[in-house]
A = this chain, B = another copy of it.
Amino acid sequence: MTVTLADVAARAQVSPATVSRVLNGNYPVAASTRERVLKAVDELDYVLNGPASSLAAATSDLVGILVNDIADPFFGIIASAIQSEIGGPGGRAGGERLAVVCNTGGSPERELTYLTLLQRQRAAAVVLTGGAVEEGPQAAAIAAKLRKLADAGTRVVLCGRPPAPDTRAIALTFDNRGGARQLTEHLIGLGHRRLGYIAGPEERTTTRHRLEGHREALAAAGVEEDPRWTVHGRYDRRSGYEATLELLRRDPTLTAVVAANDSVALGACAALRESGMRIPEDVSVAGFDDLPFSVDAVPSLTTVRLPLADAGARAGRIAMSREDPPPGGIATIRGELMVRGSSGVPRG
């Protein structure tokens, strides 16, 4: 059998209640008693029973983090930052929290399932990262679930995701539209007029916002846009590679390719290079996010830096109530245009 609170109590010659209080440190206990208890805990190698504790106290020390793809550094960086703030080892004492990182693969169904699982565990907080899917019956179901979680006392924070109205969820949103706009303005400023755009999956907010920003910039500069210049794909390198070949097929005269994110941009670079085009002499390329590897690409990638780690850390603190939520429960986090080697003056 495993050691229980009662065993410790017996050995320390106190009541179970006292042991519990020593362990939780939320009630005065005489120093001598505390010591005796701690000694017993140590000698018996006692480990608290988490489920029992959670049940009795009606709280849990689990914090859920939902990400689209844990293998993608975009989410890895955010998750890492959140985790470093929610306590756990390394955080300040007391709040030893366990982060539950859930891979949704971007699927709303799985997102919903994970939220239910977290609700079942009575998670202390839940942080949802990355864009949301805005259509389909699932979207409403997710909003309803978030509301329920909030009602049950789980703090819900959205990081890099648009606000979810009527859910009481705190939202730290990336200014994807503004960033994309700046980026395209930069390219237009260099003289580009024929810009291909590799967008992410259709129904995602991030995709839409970045695309809208791009188009705003074009419209504002009076640059015409051919619908064939936009291709949708996934947020990965492979997709960028394929989409670029497609763009080149559709219109070989493009002078710039704007990608939905850095991974896609890298794929685009590979495709361009294999097609015999130089970057940026023949075609300029731009990404988004400024992930760590982007600066290492050759040429280094012009992109929009998103303060992923900062945002994640802030989300983590808010989830732990260690920082006040932004006014109105919504904060917009801006990106910063990083002009680097992959963008230049168009040829000809």
Is A50 a contact of B122 with CB atoms below 8 Å? yes
Contact residues in B for A77 (Cβ distance below 8 Å): 71
Q: Are B80 and A102 in contact (CB under 8 A)?
A: no
With A71-B76, A73-B73, A79-B70 known to touch, is A100 a contact of B103 (CB < 8 Å)? no
Residues of B within 8 A of A84 (CB): 103
Q: Are B120 and A49 in contact (CB under 8 A)?
A: yes
A190 to chain B, nearest CB (A): 22
Contact A292 B237 (CB under 8 A): yes
| A44 sits at the interface (CB 8 A) | no
A267 to B295, CA, bound (A): 10
Q: Is B98 a contact of A102 with CB atoms below 8 Å?
A: yes
* Stretch with Cβ within 8 A of B (4 or more), from A105-113, A197-205, A243-251, A321-329: A105-113
Interface: A307 (CB within 8 A): no
A207 sits at the interface (CB 8 A): no
Q: How far is the CA of A286 from the CA of B216 in the complex (A)?
A: 44
| Chain B contacts for A70, CB-based, 8 A | 70, 76, 79-80, 83, 101
Q: Can you show 12 pairs from A to B with CB atoms below 8 A apart?
A: A45-B148, A47-B116, A49-B120, A51-B122, A52-B55, A71-B77, A73-B73, A89-B107, A89-B114, A98-B100, A297-B297, A297-B298
Binary contact track A90-133/B, C-beta < 8 Å → 1, others 0: 10000010111111110101100110111111100000000000
Q: Chain A residues in contact with chain B, CB under 8 A?
A: 2, 45, 47-55, 60, 62, 69-73, 75-77, 79-80, 83-84, 88-90, 96, 98-105, 107, 109-110, 113-114, 116-122, 148, 152, 237, 266-267, 269-270, 273, 292-293, 295-298
Residue of B nearest to A113 (CB): B89
Instruction: Looking at the assembled complex, report how far the CB atom of A24 sits from the nearest CB atom of chain B, in whole angstroms.
Output: 13
Contact partner, A49, options B55, B113, B116, B269, Cβ 8 Å? B55
Chain B residues near A83: list those with CB within 8 A: 70, 102-103
Residues of B within 8 A of A49 (CB): 55, 120, 122
For residue A64, which residue of chain B has the nearest CB? B98
Residue of B nearest to A267 (CB): B296
Query: CB within 8 A of A296: which of B80, B101, B237?
Result: B237
- Cα distance, A110 to B96, chains bound together (Å): 11
Q: How far is the CB of A39 from chain B (nearest CB, A)?
A: 18
Which residue of chain B has the shortest Cβ distance to A51 in the bound complex? B54
Q: Report the minimum CB–CB distance from A88 to chain B (whole Å).
A: 7
A332 to B: closest C-beta gap in Å = 24
A51 to chain B, nearest CB (A): 4
Residues of chain B within 8 A (CB-CB) of A102 are 83, 88, 98-99
A60 neighbours in B (Cβ, 8 Å): 50-51
List chain B residues, Cβ under 8 A from A270.
295-296
For A84, the closest partner residue in chain B by CB is B103
Q: Which one, B73, B80, B120, contacts A50 given CB within 8 A?
A: B120
Bound CA span A117–B51, Å? 12
> Residue of B at shortest CB range from A60?
B51
CB distance from A218 to the nearest CB of B (A): 28
What B residues does A89 contact at CB under 8 A? 104, 107, 109-110, 113-114, 117
- Asked whether, in the complex, the Cβ of A117 is within 8 Å of the Cβ of B101, the reply is no
- CB nearest to A148 among chain B residues: B45
